[in-house]
Each structure stands twice: as structure tokens, then as C-alpha cells.
């Protein structure tokens, strides 16, 4: 085995034996790497604090191309401490890394790491996690090869008179292809935002101002679209739904 130093982020962790963990680390150069962190669960281990999900930095490894590499040390660039201390933010972050794991398992893509690091940094700054997650979900659809039609009608290709977006029909719909009673109408602002989400540079976002109506419409569309076209299912998504319900109930209680 050779020694390498590679920048990456831990997407998942699994306890191994009595005191170790296996980490799934996504890297630019080598893609997804299985890493054994020996004895990291012992109290005095120097690897204890850094052998966990949501640690981004430079991993120093005994690298094994086929099989488990071994963690030697880690220079942490970001542990997303504010995010991990907040239930709602960490729920979004957990879903994002789980989604990333599902995407990169299907093939290496160096752009995905940059996108994930960028979106987690914005959540760590305190920006709206719900909207950032939707932006990331749209971009991941492109990496999965199932991006909805966002530049023209999914049925006829017409770029004018776009009236809504449909998960069943694969994207935008024009007035001629829209079926009353079958297709759900969304606001024109929602259509504009979905188009923008695909093209926006996450790292350059400085402000998020999206109406609750559009947030709900986009979230509903993406949930339906992911279920229909991707087959991606994560436990963290279900947990995120529960956290959203708790937040909504709390907001309703405070409004009374």
C-alpha cells in the first residue's frame, strides 16, 4: 500500500469491531474510498474526533486500490460544527451527504465534491437550508442523468407560454400541453426559480429570498420527480420530513 494525502469528505460511518469505524470518504482524485479508522472509538485515540460523517479535509491514508484503505491522520478544513449543533440544519446536511453517496456510487464525478462542499458551507453560514437543498437536488438530477426539461415544454419542446411543471410529464409544460384537472398549476415564480437553480453557482449565493409558496411547490415537485425517475431513497430523507413537521407544528403553536 502507498501513502497518499487526498482532500475529501466523509459521507457515512459504520462501527467496525469493538473500537474501529469504516468511513466512506468521497475524494476528487480517487472517487469513493472505504477507509478503516483503527481504534478511533477509544477515548484516547487521536482519530476519535475526526472519524465521523460530515468531516471535510485532507485525509492521509495507507491507500489500497481494491479494498479498505487505512486512515493515518486528517487535517480538518471544516467540521460544520454550527450545523451539527442544530437539529434542523444537521438533518438537511445528513440528507445531502446521503444523497451524494447515492449519486457517486453510480460513477465518479469530481464536480460533485465541489458542489457538496459549497452547499454545506452555505448551510454552516446560516443560509436557508431548505432552498439550498432544493438547488442541490436539481443539480444532482443532472449528474444522475434524469434532469427534467427546464428550457422548454417536456411534451412538445415549445419554449413559449410555459404555464406549469409536471413530474409525471418530465418537466415544464406549455399551455397547449397542459391538461386541466390532471396537471397541477404552480406559480410563474416557481418556474423561474427551478430554471435558475440548475444554473446558479452555489458558492456565489449571498442572499436567499424565496416565498413559502414557491418553497412548497418546488419541494413537492422534486420529491415526486425523485421518486418517479431516480429510485434514490435515503433514511435521512424520512427523518428530514419528520423534522419539517415538528418545525411547522411549532410555528403554528407560536402563531396561536
Interval 137-150: pLDDT, tens = 999 999 999 999 99
Q: What is the pLDDT along the chain (256 residues), one digit of tens a residue?
A: 799 999 999 999 999 999 999 999 999 889 999 999 999 999 999 999 999 999 999 999 999 988 999 999 999 999 999 999 999 999 999 999 999 999 998 876 668 999 999 999 999 999 999 999 999 999 999 999 999 999 999 999 999 999 999 999 999 999 999 998 889 999 999 999 999 999 999 999 999 999 989 999 999 999 999 999 998 877 888 888 888 777 776 666 666 6
How many Å apart are CA 108 and CA 76, to the nearest integer?
A: 23
φ/ψ bin of 115: left (φ > 0), alpha (ψ from -120 to 50), beta (otherwise): alpha
Question: What share of the chain has pLDDT > 70, as a percent?
Answer: 95
Beta carbons of 36 and 22 less than 8 angstroms apart: yes
Residue with C-alpha cell 478544513?
A: 77
Q: What is the DSSP string of 222-248?
A: HHHHHHHHT----HHHHHHHHHHHHHH
pTM of the model: 0.92
pLDDT, one tens digit per residue, over 6-23 is 999 999 999 999 999 999
Picking from 48, 140, 127, 141, the residue whose alpha carbon sits closest to that of residue 92 is 127
- The structural domains of the chain, ordered by start, are 2-80 (2.40.50.140), 82-232 (1.20.1440)
Amino acid at each position: 500500500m502507498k501513502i497518499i494525502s487526498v482532500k475529501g469528505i466523509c459521507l457515512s460511518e459504520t462501527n467496525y469491531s469493538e473500537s474501529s469505524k469504516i468511513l466512506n470518504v468521497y475524494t476528487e482524485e480517487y472517487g469513493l474510498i472505504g477507509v478503516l479508522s483503527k481504534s478511533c472509538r477509544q477515548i484516547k485515540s487521536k482519530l476519535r474526533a475526526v472519524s465521523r460523517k460530515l468531516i471535510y479535509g485532507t485525509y492521509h491514508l495507507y491507500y489500497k486500490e481494491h479494498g479498505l484503505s487505512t486512515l493515518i491522520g486528517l487535517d480538518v478544513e471544516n467540521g460544520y460544527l454550527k450545523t451539527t449543533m442544530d437539529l434542523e440544519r444537521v438533518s438537511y446536511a445528513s440528507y445531502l451527504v446521503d444523497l451524494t453517496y447515492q449519486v457517486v456510487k453510480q460513477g465518479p464525478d469530481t464536480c460533485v465534491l465541489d458542489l457538496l462542499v459549497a452547499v454545506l458551507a452555505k448551510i454552516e453560514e446560516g443560509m436557508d437550508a431548505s432552498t439550498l437543498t432544493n438547488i442541490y437536488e436539481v443539480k444532482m438530477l443532472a449528474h444522475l442523468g434524469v434532469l427534467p426539461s427546464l428550457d422548454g415544454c417536456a411534451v412538445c419542446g415549445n419554449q413559449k407560454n410555459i404555464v406549469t411543471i409536471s413530474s409525471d410529464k418530465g418537466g415544464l409544460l406549455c399551455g397547449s400541453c397542459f391538461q386541466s384537472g390532471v396537471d397541477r398549476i404552480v406559480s410563474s415564480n416557481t418556474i423561474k426559480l427551478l430554471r435558475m437553480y440548475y444554473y446558479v453557482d452555489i458558492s456565489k449565493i449571498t442572499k436567499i429570498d424565496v416565498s413559502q409558496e414557491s418553497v412548497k411547490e418546488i419541494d413537492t415537485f422534486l420529491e415526486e420527480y425523485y421518486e418517479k425517475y431516480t429510485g434514490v431513497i435515503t433514511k435521512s430523507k424520512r427523518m428530514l420530513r419528520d423534522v419539517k413537521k415538528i418545525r411547522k407544528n411549532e410555528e403554528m403553536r407560536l402563531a396561536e
